């Protein structure tokens, strides 16, 4: 009753997908998980197989008990991107798609030939399968949560680290799918032995160690943080079941998760400081990415000042929140952008995602545009204007409470130890605004964004705990 994921050995090197370095990394380190795959030319293609799902009753086949395996268009396996083609569609969108495919209208629902009915059943089944498979991946992730080693041991054979990295970094897959694989990656490969929080240093509320001698380390040096070394003869190394296990456990380098670190920084930078309220699947992905970042930070895999700054800069941009927009606004901006491109084909220096730039370049006045709600006007102010005009009528108790939280979060420490670009007062101001937002807007989309911001703070807290 489970759908399988597997890699195939491509016939030629050209069919492999090599890892593309982001602008944040100059070159590949000497040692990292997935190096072997990269040396062979890249990741192998991934397929999905549902051939073993026999003797089930398929609703799409009129409720009859199937004697054979499930088939989608005479197939029992296919490429993963093809498999998830319809995953983000709703049932009504699926109907529209089917009838577009047929060339008729949705009103013809009861007027299908046998052949069309078969196509409809096949597409619907594929859609149902893709949703089912996402739930299955989430189940696997939950089974591994909390370092459940029996489950980890079993599933790590089916989902090797390079395969999961290929899946989470695959832009052709929908965010929903990548989120599920991110969850699995976190619980299966990152949050497990021998890694531990705060680079293995005990902290409140756990037992605190007292050091008599403190040696100051230079945070610009590679490997300034503790590493998780298993000495030769360690029982885990002796009892390993696969070579992948051995590679994972024996690798001592802080560049172990180089691919993941590169992906995280690239993904957060790609947000360009803007989150869209209402883009549920993307915001869910941001949330799980942040949890991964918090773990990597806490486990010491952002091992130098420059790497920490690389992560924190896009993080603070997104934490800011003043550039956050709604889905409706984003679609309107998309329209404005097209209009702008029609008017000015010449490329400008303005940031493509910055609302204020797009509007001013297009020459539109917000108050005169009936499409845009007046309440969203403040989002078109420049950042500097917004900073001065921040007065949100928030409960003073809430501000005091949050200021306390920020101190606990160690944002001051973060400020002192990194760029010096943002003052603690500035960060407090931003956070207060976020808290104020959550106070007045309690819809699930806004709460999702708020959850992301809270997780950003927890990443910053991890930075502070590394001191």
Partner 1 sequence: MENLLIDLIKSCGEFSGRIERRFDILSKEDAKAPEAKEDSSVMFQTIASDVKLVDAVFQLFSSPTRVQTGDQKGLSMVWDDKYRCFKNEQFDKIGDIIILGWKCLRTMFQKNRRAENYFARHNEWVNPGIIRQIPYKVGAARAFETLISDNVALLEQEVDKSIILAFINLIKSHGPEDRLMNFFAAICTCQGAPIKSNQEACLNLLLLN
Contact region with partner 1 (CB under 8 A), list: 40-48, 136-144, 337-345, 378-386 = 136-144
Of residues 136 and 351, the one with the C-beta less far from partner 1 = 136
Closest CA to 315 of 165, 176, 454, 222: 454
Contact region with partner 1 (CB under 8 A), list: 5-13, 129-137, 294-302, 408-416 = 129-137
User: What's the closest the beta carbon of residue 70 comes to partner 1, in angstroms?
Assistant: 8
- Strands 276-277 and 325-326, sheet pairing: parallel
Of residues 66 and 219, the one with the C-beta less far from partner 1 = 66
Of residues 128 and 339, the one with the C-beta less far from partner 1 = 128
User: What's the closest the beta carbon of residue 53 comes to partner 1, in angstroms?
Assistant: 7
Told to check if 420 binds partner 1 by CB under 8 A, we report no
User: What's the closest the beta carbon of residue 348 comes to partner 1, in angstroms?
Assistant: 45
User: What's the closest the beta carbon of residue 135 comes to partner 1, in angstroms?
Assistant: 4
Dihedral in degrees, nearest 10, Cα atoms 427, 428, 433, 437: 110
Told to check if 22 binds partner 1 by CB under 8 A, we report no
Question: Are 185 and 260 within 8 A, CB to CB?
Answer: yes
Told to check if 128 binds partner 1 by CB under 8 A, we report yes
- Strands 77-79 and 276-277, sheet pairing: unpaired
Told to check if 145 binds partner 1 by CB under 8 A, we report yes
Closest CA to 140 of 123, 124, 122, 163: 163
Q: Tell me, residue by residue from 30 to 59, as one string, x for binding to partner 1 by CB under 8 A and - for no binding.
A: -----------------------x-xxxxx
Of residues 310 and 454, the one with the C-beta less far from partner 1 = 454
User: From the CB of residue 165, how many other CB atoms can be counted at a distance below 10 Å?
Assistant: 23
Q: Where are the extended beta strands (E) located within 313-423?
A: 325-326
SS3 220: coil
Beta carbons within 8 Å of 112's beta carbon, 6+ residues apart = 102, 120
Residue 296, H or E segment: helix 280-298
Q: Cis peptide before 194, with omega less than 30 degrees from 0?
A: yes
Closest CA to 294 of 384, 409, 396, 372: 409
User: From the CB of residue 70, how many other CB atoms can be counted at a distance below 10 Å?
Assistant: 20
User: What's the closest the beta carbon of residue 267 comes to partner 1, in angstroms?
Assistant: 23
Told to check if 112 binds partner 1 by CB under 8 A, we report no
Among 134, 164, 312, 406, contact with partner 1 (rule: CB under 8 A): 134
Contact region with partner 1 (CB under 8 A), list: 114-122, 151-159, 214-222, 296-304 = 151-159
Told to check if 143 binds partner 1 by CB under 8 A, we report yes
Told to check if 148 binds partner 1 by CB under 8 A, we report yes
Told to check if 136 binds partner 1 by CB under 8 A, we report yes
Of residues 52 and 439, the one with the C-beta less far from partner 1 = 52
Question: Are 155 and 144 within 8 A, CB to CB?
Answer: yes
Told to check if 458 binds partner 1 by CB under 8 A, we report no
Residues 179, 389: Cα–Cα separation, whole Å: 36
User: What's the closest the beta carbon of residue 453 comes to partner 1, in angstroms?
Assistant: 18
Residues 77, 324: Cα–Cα separation, whole Å: 40
Q: Which residues bind partner 1 (CB under 8 A)?
A: 1-3, 53, 55-59, 63, 128-129, 131-132, 134-136, 138-139, 141-146, 148, 150-151, 154-155
């Amino acid at each position: 009753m489970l759908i399988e994921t597997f890699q195939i050995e491509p016939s030629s090197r050209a069919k492999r997908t090599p890892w593309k370095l982001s602008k944040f990394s100059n070159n590949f380190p000497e040692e990292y998980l997935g190096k072997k795959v990269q040396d062979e030319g890249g990741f192998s293609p991934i397929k999905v197989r549902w051939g073993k799902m026999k003797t089930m009753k398929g609703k799409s086949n009129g409720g009859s008990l199937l004697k054979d395996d499930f088939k989608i268009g005479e197939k029992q396996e296919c490429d993963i991107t093809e498999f998830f083609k319809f995953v983000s569609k709703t049932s009504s969108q699926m109907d529209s798609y089917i009838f577009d495919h047929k060339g008729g209208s949705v009103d013809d629902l009861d007027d299908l030939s046998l052949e069309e009915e078969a196509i409809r059943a096949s597409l619907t089944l594929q859609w149902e399968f893709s949703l089912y498979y996402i739930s299955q991946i989430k189940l696997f992730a939950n089974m591994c949560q909390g370092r459940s080693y029996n489950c980890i041991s079993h599933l790590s054979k089916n989902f090797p680290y390079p395969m999961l990295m290929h899946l989470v970094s695959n832009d052709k897959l929908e965010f929903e799918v990548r989120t599920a694989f991110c969850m699995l990656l976190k619980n299966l490969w990152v949050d497990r032995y021998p890694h531990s929080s705060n680079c293995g240093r005990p902290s409140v509320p756990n037992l605190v160690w007292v050091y008599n001698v403190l040696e100051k380390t230079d945070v610009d040096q590679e490997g300034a943080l503790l590493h998780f070394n298993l000495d030769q003869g360690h029982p885990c190394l002796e009892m390993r079941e696969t070579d992948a296990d051995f590679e994972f456990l024996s690798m001592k380098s802080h560049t172990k998760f180089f691919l993941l670190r590169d992906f995280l920084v690239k993904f957060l930078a790609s947000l360009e400081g803007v989150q869209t309220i209402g883009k549920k699947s993307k915001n869910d992905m941001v949330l799980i990415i942040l949890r991964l970042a918090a773990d990597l930070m806490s486990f010491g895999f952002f091992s130098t000042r420059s790497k920490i700054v690389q992560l924190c800069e896009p993080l603070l941009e997104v934490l800011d929140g003043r550039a956050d927009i709604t889905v409706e606004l984003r679609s309107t901006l998309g329209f404005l952008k097209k209009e702008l491109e029609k008017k000015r084909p010449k490329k400008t220096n303005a940031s493509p995602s910055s609302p204020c730039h797009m509007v001013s370049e297009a020459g539109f006045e917000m108050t005169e545009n009936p499409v845009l709600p007046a309440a969203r006007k403040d989002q078109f102010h420049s950042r500097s204007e917004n900073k001065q005009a921040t007065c949100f009528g928030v409960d003073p108790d809430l501000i005091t409470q949050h200021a306390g939280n920020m101190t606990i979060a160690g944002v001051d420490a973060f400020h002192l130890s990194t760029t010096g670009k943002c003052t603690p007062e500035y960060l407090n101001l931003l956070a207060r605004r976020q808290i104020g937002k959550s106070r007045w807007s309690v819809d699930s989309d806004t709460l999702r964004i708020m959850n992301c911001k809270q997780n950003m703070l927890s990443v910053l807290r991890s930075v502070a705990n590394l001191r």
